[in-house]
Structure 1
Amino acid sequence: MKTLFVSYRVTDLDRSLGFYTALGYAELGRVEIGDGARLVILAFPGEPAASLELVHRPADGRVDVGSGFDHLAIQADTLTDTLKALTEAGLEPGPLQFPGGPDGPKTSWLTDPDGYRIELVEWPSGHPDGITAADFS
């Protein structure tokens, strides 16, 4: 078993696509699911498969993010460069943070048009991609 992708329901598909493409995602394809509803499948360039699905169901009204979902984490190669590029693209990332101290990961937070929180992470040199069991030893 493995996780395939995260799926978000969005209020305004064009606005959300503008946000996620500015973040660096590329559209892989769309699926019309009836009654004006559609799915848009996204991935970062270089990813072997989809990693994000945007679900737009206009008949369901505005999205209420609610209290159960916390955030999506996205790895950046060089976070300072990423923050600069996102700011130039009109997005508003938060300040650079060092939650594990100066030798730990660098992070920044961003919120999408529907209120979904995104954590941008740059791992220290030599750290594997993602969190592994070694992070808890």
Structure 2
Amino acid sequence: MRTLHIGLRVTDLPRSLEFYAAIGYEVVGTVPETPIGQLTMLKLPGDEFVAVELVHDGDPVEHGTDVSHLVVRVESMADTLDVLAGRLIEPVGPVRDHGRGMKTAFVADPDGRPIELVQWPAGHPDGMTAADCPEKGAGE
């Protein structure tokens, strides 16, 4: 088994598509009519598969009832924030430096959903591993 993608309800689809394109996502395809609304599939250029599904049914999204946050790996926090600033997207709060090259920052999508940007230290795997977790889960 593996996680396929996360579905996010959005209030204003064109505005959300513009935002997600600005942070690097590209549209893979759409499913115009489903029981839960129009679906738009997104992925980052380096991803092989869809990572995010935007779900638009015309109803407003109540922030805090759908998802905690999304996480996007970036090569350079400074370069990414410069590009986003040029697209009028500013971080929410300060950039945190966790030492040894790891940095994190948050931006918010048009529905107020937090997107965490992560710059891994040099040589770190592309994703999180058990080494990134101070405590292992139960049964491990």
Instruction: State the TM-score, normalizing by the size of structure 1.
Output: 0.88
Q: Distance in 2 between matches of 1:68 and 1:33?
A: 21
Instruction: State the TM-score, normalizing by the size of structure 2.
Output: 0.87
Q: Distance in 2 between matches of 1:134 and 1:126?
A: 13
Structure 2 counterparts to residues 1-137 of structure 1, below 5 A: 1-33=1-33, 37-58=37-58, 61-66=59-64, 69-94=67-92, 95-98=94-97, 100=98, 102-103=99-100, 105-136=102-133
Q: Distance in 1 between matches of 2:132 and 2:105?
A: 20
CA 1:23–1:68: 2 relative to 1, 3 Å: closer
Q: Distance in 2 between matches of 1:90 and 1:103?
A: 29
Residue ranges of structure 2 left out of the alignment (5+ in a row): 135-140
Q: How many percent of aligned residue pairs carry the same amino acid?
A: 45
Give the residue type in structure 2 aligned to 1:4. L
Q: Deviations over 1:49-90 (max 9, x none)?
A: 1111100001xx210022563211110011110010011011
Residue ranges of structure 1 left out of the alignment (5+ in a row): none
Q: Distance in 2 between matches of 1:73 and 1:106?
A: 12
CA 1:56–1:84: 2 relative to 1, 3 Å: same
Q: Deviations over 1:27-64 (max 9, x none)?
A: 111111158x3111111113111111100001xx2100
| Shift, 1:127, TM fit | 1.2
Question: Does the CA-based 8 Å contact 2:77-2:117 persist in structure 1?
Answer: yes
Q: Distance in 1 between matches of 2:133 and 2:42?
A: 31
- The SS at the match of 1:33 is coil
For this pair of structures, how many residues does the alignment match? 133
Q: Distance in 2 between matches of 1:11 and 1:51?
A: 19
The RMSD of aligned alpha carbons is 1.9
Greater share of helix: 1
